[in-house]
Amino acid sequence: MKRILSALLTFAAMVMASPPSQAGIDALIALSGAGDATWERRLAVQDLLRRSFGFQHVEVLVDATADELPKRVTTFLQAPEEPGDRRLVWISGFGRNGGRGICPAHNARPIRPAAPVLVMAPGCYVKAIRFPQGARHYGLTAPTPAEAAARIGRIDDTDPAWVAVLTLPDDAANHIEGADGLVFEHLKAVKTTGIIDPAQILAAVRSGFRWNGSTYTPSLDLFHSGAGTDELAPLGFRANPPRIAKRGRTRPLAGGRRHLNLHEQPTTHAGPALRLSGAGPVRVLRADKSGAMRYVSVGQSLFGWVRKNDLRL
């Protein structure tokens, strides 16, 4: 009996002496490509996230197949949360492109993130992730912290305080690798801040992606319950609103037009457009695959596709 009692006391002392479980700041990375440059970028991303943004564990996938990758992402995002957990997913590759696509199956169950997370992935993951009620979509407008609070709606107790999904291109290898490079260069540029701001990354990709012939439309879907950056670090918003680089040629409207229709997709048949009066300045960033549409910035806060014939080129 004394031996049993002694063993129990020893075990209790060990439990009390053990430190509480620590919050995890974890990342899952799977970048497209198999060349030396991609290998070097993977290693550089891993080092950057650990040294500059405080990530404790950065898992870099180099052997996951197109079928396995959505499952790995789902498992990572739905893992039970410890208080203070933060997660980052950055995956690139082809969309639903035969056997090479990295998108979840159409009939897959929605992914429900368990902790605050930033996902940078092809647009199909926006549809795959279950956002809490009140999430906002930024396809034409620029997100700012003042506009990020959740709208009125039902939010479950299990919903994380912050979920952001930034779309990456998924149609051509050079577009995919180019966008990865833009994101990486942006993260290097802001490493001294220690904050990964999806609004800033969106601005950097919108202004920096200059490949003609791509229909890629950068967008951000965001749920934000109102938690401050200090509560979400290293994720969150920086103090200054995102600004775009003033590059690209300014173009006037054609034929004395006073209105301009700004579309979220490079087709005039893909839903309603934002009708702008006296639009300007309009900066042309690139052309779509058909050559009939131009991706533009209007001022500092609007982005989208316009008809080529509506501009004086």
Higher pLDDT, 152 or 24: 24
> Is residue 304 domain-shared with residue 196, that is, in the same domain?
no
* 287 in the same domain as 177: no
Domain count, the chain: 2
98 within some domain? yes
Tell me, yes or no, whether 100 lies in a domain: yes
- Please give the residue that has the higher pLDDT: either 146 or 95: 95
Amino acid in position 103: C
Give strand ranges (E) for 114-161: 117-122, 136-138
Cβ–Cβ under 8 Å, residues 306 and 261: yes
User: Residue 304 — pLDDT band, cuts 50, 70, 90?
Assistant: very high
Q: What's the CATH number where 222 sits? A: 3.40.50
On whether both 226 and 283 belong to a single domain, the answer is no
Query: Looking at the structure, do residues 150 and 265 belong to the same domain, yes or no?
Result: no
92 lies in a domain?
yes
Measured distance CA(58)–CA(47) in Å, rounded: 9
Domain stops at, among 202, 232, 262? 232
pLDDT exceeds 50 at position 12: no
pLDDT in tens, 159-175: 898 999 999 999 899 99
**Least confident piece of the model among 9-23, 25-39, 46-60, 209-223:** 9-23
- The last residue of one of the domains, among 197, 232, 267, is 232
Same domain (yes/no): 212, 281: no
Same domain? 153 vs 43 = yes
Cα separation, 297 vs 205, whole angstroms: 12
Instruction: Give residue 56's region: left, alpha or beta (phi > 0; psi -120 to 50).
Output: alpha
Mean pLDDT of the chain: 83
What digits encode the pLDDT tens for the residues 60-85? Answer: 988 788 889 999 999 999 999 898 89
* Ranges 47-56, 268-277, 299-308: which has the least confidence: 268-277
**For residues 142-149, average pLDDT:** 74
Q: How many angstroms separate the CA atoms of 232 and 96, rounded?
A: 33
Same structural domain, 294 and 226: no
Q: What is the pLDDT of residue 217?
A: 95
The least confident of 43-57, 162-176, 236-250, 273-287 is 236-250
Question: Residue 266's domain spans which residues?
Answer: 249-310
Whether residues 116 and 59 share a domain: the answer is yes
Is residue 184 assigned to a domain? yes
Listed residues 200, 232, 264: the one ending a domain: 232
Q: What is the pLDDT of residue 270?
A: 67
Residue 166 CA to residue 293 CA, distance in Å, equals 23
pLDDT band at 288 (very low <50, low <70, confident <90, very high): very high
Which is it for strands 86-91 and 117-122: parallel, antiparallel or unpaired? parallel
In this structure, what CATH number is given to the domain that contains residue 289?
Answer: 2.30.30.40
Neighbouring C-beta atoms of residue 263, cutoff 10 Å: 22
